[in-house]
Structure 1
Amino acid sequence: MTTPPGWYPEPGLTPPYPPRERWWDGHGWTAQTRQATGTPPAPGGGRSGRGPLIGLVAGIAGAVVLAAALALGSVLLLGGDPDKGGTSEAGPGAPSEAPEGEGPGEGDESTPPRDDEPPSKVPEVARDPLLGVGLTAPAGWERASDSHAAVSSEKAYECPASHKEECVRGGGVLQATNGAWSDRETLKKLTEAQVAENAETSYPKKSYGGITGHEVVESGAVTVAGEQGYRVRWRVANKLKPDAYVEAVVFRSPESSERTLALLSSVDIAEDAPGVSVLDELRKGVVGTGDGEDEGPRESV
């Protein structure tokens, strides 16, 4: 029996993160979430359709690896126990059956209350409490972490060079970066170094066969969250398709003029991928959250 639509606890969240629920539409997990209201455990072993990403983020220590994992290429380990034949046919980590009497509507002839219907779509903002900034998720994207300013597209596919990994169509992450500048030329060089690193970490050889070339398609000054910055965008050619656009934007933090931040983002060039304009949308979606950095130091890259 297929699990009916409804709100289920968000798997993968452990203290100190507050409990949260995600909407299951009857076929897959959506990007819609809300504060937990005490619903029963999610069926199907408590894993979400984006469980591989949640699990990956949960195991990340530091911003260096986060950037490598979540900037565009976003390579995700496939869920499932290899000794048990992998994931369910219902989709990656999707619940296949609801335990008797526990699923919404099971044993209850009444329809779910109106407040259990999916809310109208509102932009999600992935916040980083240490950096004091957030990254707004475009339509069709979701937060990739509850503790970092990272987002990824909901669309996933098997990585071209690996049958054991999943990749997503696009992603972005905000992180602190070492480097200071007093003139535009220095800022440009900092950004060029960031975009080169972004390309390698977003489209690694093990997943895309290696980058065979690139061309600079955008380079110049931009404004990010009211601060002056610099953007460099590449179009990269991969040995195994798809090719992609990768971008780096370096700017001063809107919360601290002494801190340098980098927005690393990228998107596949494919029919079912977002258009390249989504990179501009990500940049325009950087917001100051007013949070401090009292929770301790974090490694910069």
Structure 2
Amino acid sequence: MTQMTPPGWYPDPGQTAGGPPTERWWDGNVWTDQVRAAQNAHAYPTQPAFPAYPGQPPAPRRGLRVAIAVGVVLVVLAGIGGGVYALTSGDDDGDGGGSAARKPSTGAPEEPGKPGATQTPEG
């Protein structure tokens, strides 16, 4: 269960350094524009009694966000590399990677004028 800070006057979270101490009205959900001079400036310690100002999100975790972003990029790059490898690994059949159909073998040499080629009688 979340502990809600009750409405009331609290040390002003937007107070400028070196200025007189001020208080701002907290309505239970958000800070209002109502500001007044601190009623009892000596009663407030240098740090407020509550852990963080109500209504404000916790400080961002920049390092964690950067690490997650880098991890996501690396996973995407690894997936792309794996996909390229998987798609091109079937081209290792020795035909040079071309898609042209092979000519059927008839037993006759492709170039009959070369030495070592068998000559057929002309008829």
State whether TM-score is above 0.5: no
TM bracket (short chain): 0.3 to 0.5
- TM-score, normalised on structure 2? 0.36
Higher fraction of strand: 1
With a CA cutoff of 8 Å and minimum separation of 6, indicate the structure with the bigger relative contact order: 1
Larger Rg belongs to: 2
- In the superposition, the TM-score normalised over structure 1's length comes to 0.16
